[in-house]
């Protein structure tokens, strides 16, 4: 990062002009982050960069898997139609499935309701050498209940404390955490919902109940702001990704993931024997 005054709403990403990396103490305002932003990138140039980064991730992943000492956890959150599925599908392209663990968190089962809300979450954390990707996450338990006033402010704050402690536990045990909020506009959500109704291959994703949640748009914006500001730490900061343009969304995520894995610098383990002494007949 360059010198000068710190960004008032977070720290700007190194490679793109607009994505924001939230930092502790910096109060994020989603209204101040343009979901239409493309960071000055053209679609063609961004897609070429994304493909290059995808190949780079495919090169790095085998070393992380073979090293078998640490893991990477990628958390993807968004409002309905925010692009979670598409972003994850793109991120997984070219990655060896044996070193990947994808979890889609649905409505809790009866067994999960019988335990604390982090019980099912902890079970899904990636093992050593694995890249784990979560489609929704433990953050659903501090977003939806807040919007629907199902928990008190005191309970909400306790849960945020639990989440920060939980992520700290993971961080102390070799799990590097990347959290992405895919930020779209209300107008873009409208267009995507309408497109689902017209597409035979996507209409199954449409749920009339989504319209009830859409009516709470402003409440969800405030809830996400509160969660990002309360649950941003040095070891697990939030990345706010302008996501109206899918191609820019993909670029931002790949830039962050590849940069983090390169920072981890995974190494293939040396052989435990002298290769020169081995004769293959």
Query: pLDDT per residue over 221-231, tens digit each?
Result: 999 999 999 99
Please tell me the chain's helix, strand, coil percentages from 3-state DSSP, rounded to the nearest 5.
Answer: 50, 15, 40
Which tokens is 55 given? 């190949």
Q: Is 25 helix (H, G, I), strand (E, B) or coil?
A: coil
Contact 69, 174 (CB under 8 A): yes
Residue entry with tokens 């019980």: 119
Interacting residues of 280 by C-beta distance below 8 A, sequence separation 6+: none
CATH number for the segment(s) 11-266: 3.40.50.300
- SS3 (DSSP) at 134: strand
Pick left, alpha or beta for residue 191 (phi over 0 → left; psi -120 to 50 → alpha; otherwise beta). Answer: alpha
Residue 24 in contact with residue 233, Cβ under 8 Å? yes
Can you give the residue ranges of every domain in the chain? 11-266
Query: Is pLDDT at 2 greater than 60 in this prediction?
Result: no
The pLDDT of residue 209 is 85
Per-residue pLDDT, averaged over 108-114, amounts to: 94
Output DSSP code: residue 42: -
Render the burial of 57-75: b for 16+ CB within 10 Å, e for the rest. Answer: beebbbbbbebeebbbbbb
Please report which confidence band the pLDDT of residue 14 belongs to, taking 50, 70 and 90 as the band edges: very low
Percent of the chain with pLDDT over 90: 85
- Neighbour tally for 136: CB within 10 Å: 16
Residue 176 pairs with which residues in a beta bridge?
A: 72
Question: Can you give the pTM of this predicted structure?
Answer: 0.91
pLDDT at 9 over 80: no
Distance CA 90, CA 281 (A): 43
- Mean pLDDT across the chain, nearest whole number? 92
As a whole number of angstroms, the distance between CA 142 and CA 151 comes to: 9
User: What is the average pLDDT across 182-186?
Assistant: 98
| pLDDT at residue 63 is higher than 90 | yes
Q: What is the per-residue pLDDT across 119-155, written as a single tens digit (0 to 9) for each?
A: 999 999 999 999 999 999 999 999 999 999 999 999 9
CB atoms within 10 A of CB 270: 6
Taking residues 9-33, what's their average pLDDT? 72
pLDDT of residue 18 exceeding 80: no
pLDDT value for 264: 97
């Amino acid at each position: 990062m360059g010198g000068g005054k710190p960004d008032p709403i977070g720290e700007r990403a190194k490679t793109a002009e607009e994505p924001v990396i939230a930092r502790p103490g910096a109060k994020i305002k989603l209204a101040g982050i343009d979901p239409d932003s493309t960071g000055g990138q053209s679609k063609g140039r961004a897609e070429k960069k994304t493909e290059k980064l995808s190949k780079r991730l495919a090169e790095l992943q085998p070393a992380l898997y073979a090293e078998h000492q640490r893991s990477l956890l990628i958390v993807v959150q968004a409002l309905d139609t925010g692009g979670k599925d598409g972003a994850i599908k793109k991120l997984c392209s070219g990655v060896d499935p044996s070193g990947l663990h994808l979890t889609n968190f649905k409505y809790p089962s009866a067994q999960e309701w019988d335990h604390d809300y982090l019980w099912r979450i902890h079970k899904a954390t990636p093992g050593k050498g694995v890249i784990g990707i979560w489609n929704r996450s433990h953050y659903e338990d501090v977003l939806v209940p807040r919007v629907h006033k199902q928990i008190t402010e005191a309970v909400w704050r306790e849960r945020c404390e639990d989440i920060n402690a939980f992520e700290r536990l993971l961080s102390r045990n070799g799990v590097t955490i990347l959290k992405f909020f895919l930020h779209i506009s209300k107008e873009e959500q409208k267009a995507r919902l309408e497109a689902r109704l017209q597409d035979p291959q996507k209409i199954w994703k449409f749920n009339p109940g989504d319209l009830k949640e859409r009516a709470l748009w402003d409440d969800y914006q405030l809830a996400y702001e509160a969660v990002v500001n309360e649950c941003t730490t040095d070891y697990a900061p939030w990345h706010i990704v302008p996501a109206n343009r899918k191609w820019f969304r993909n670029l931002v995520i790949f830039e962050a993931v590849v940069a983090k894995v390169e920072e981890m610098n995974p190494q293939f383990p040396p052989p435990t024997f002298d290769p020169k002494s081995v004769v293959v007949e």
